[in-house]
Amino acid sequence: MNLEQLQRTMAAAVMQPLTDEEQMQARDTTGRWNGRAMSEVVGEFITPNSRLTAFERLEIYNRQYWFRLQTAFTEDFPALRAVVGSERFDALMNAYLAAHPSSSFTLRNLGWKLSAWLVQNSQYAGRRCKLALDVAAVEWACIEAFDSAEFPRLSLEEIAAMGANPQLTLQPHVQLLALDYPADELVLDMHRRQRRESSEAGARPEAASEVDFTPLRLHKRPTWLAIHRADYSVYYKLLSLPEYRTLSALRAGNALAETLEQAFSGSRLSIVSQAQRVQQWFATWAQLGWLVRPPL
């Protein structure tokens, strides 16, 4: 094998999922080596030493690779773990990671397909599937809001100078969610607990042990939410349905006049009240720096 072939072979072996007992698979399960015994496969590119066989040497890297993915995934989705319970979460996590192993230089992107995967594999979330979907969406939106791009913001004066029907869009870090549950409350609580426990773990070694999360209950309530970044911190903002519709339409590139007409569809508010709401929204959005020019 040349260097590239060796690297790809090593990566494929290291990334092969572990057994249920968290050991390296005795036989190839990927089809890459036609189901051969891994002890034979590994012997072709790893040599044993005086203490470990070639299989045992590779198993160290295989296990540590998966333990690192599991740790990162658990840190990114603590509220999802609280909703489905620790045992079900472990099964969900391992199934998802087997279907979507890390394909990026950064573990930041590990959960980017989780929401879509959960829709197709709802059995892993159990009877709280809809709540689990909302929670997973909020937790992923937090990640996106934290480090997505930020463009030069527009002031109200600049927007007014663009004419009666300006073309506007939102900062990439602003994440819009329509939820069946007020999942933001649960996620915020769990993330605060996670930060507190991480801080305590640094001060007291005994606090670093795994926390036993208790599945939580949350009553169904339609919720519209914006998750955004300000001063390098992530914030949540509850929205009304017309406000959510307006922001979503702006993000989609719709013209402002059409956007506002659709936003208040079915509303009983008078035209004057609608105009006042819109004025308040734009003042707030401009202050938060959400409004930008569409990129070329």
Q: Is the pLDDT of residue 5 over 80?
A: yes
| Whether residue 178 is found in the same domain as residue 194 | no
Do residues 66 and 163 share a domain? no
CA distances (Å), origin 81, targets 22, 91, 143, 190, 249: 20, 11, 17, 10, 33
Residues 280, 247, single domain; the answer is yes
Q: What is the pLDDT of residue 210?
A: 46
Is residue 36 in some structural domain?
yes
Q: Is the pLDDT of residue 207 over 50?
A: no
In a shared domain, residues 27 and 162: no
- What is the predicted pLDDT for the residue at 217? 67
In this prediction, residue 165 carries a pLDDT of 77
pLDDT-derived band of residue 200, with 50, 70 and 90 as boundaries?
Answer: low
Q: Look at the chain and count its residues.
A: 296
Binned at pLDDT 50, 70 and 90, residue 201 comes out as low
pLDDT in tens, 31-84: 999 999 999 999 999 999 999 999 999 999 999 999 999 999 999 999 999 999
Q: What is the pTM of this model?
A: 0.86
pLDDT in tens, 7-21: 999 999 999 999 989
Same domain, 141 and 105: yes
Q: What is the DSSP letter of 124?
A: G
The answer to whether residues 288 and 234 belong to one domain is yes
Domain that holds residue 236: 148-182+222-296
Lowest-confidence region among 150-159, 233-242, 265-274: 265-274
Tokens of 91: 């099964």
Domain's final residue, options 194, 217, 240: 217
Is 137 part of any domain?
yes
- Token pair in block for residue 288: 């938060």
* pLDDT value at residue 189: 86
Within a domain: 168: yes
Confidence label for 195 from pLDDT (cuts 50, 70 and 90): confident
Identify the bridge partners of residue 292 per DSSP, sorted by sequence position: 169
199 and 141 both lie in a single domain:
yes
Residue 205 C-beta-side C-alpha neighbours within 13 Å: 0
Residue 5 sits in the same domain as residue 104: no
3-state secondary structure at position 27: strand
Whether the CB-CB separation of 154 and 294 falls below 8 Å is answered with no
Look up tokens 């989780």; give the residue: 114
Residue 93 lies in a domain: no
Q: What is the rounded average pLDDT of the residues 101-119?
A: 94
The region, left, alpha or beta by phi > 0 then psi within -120 to 50, assigned to residue 236 is beta
Instruction: Give the count of domains, the chain.
Output: 3
How many angstroms separate the CA atoms of 293 and 154, rounded? 8
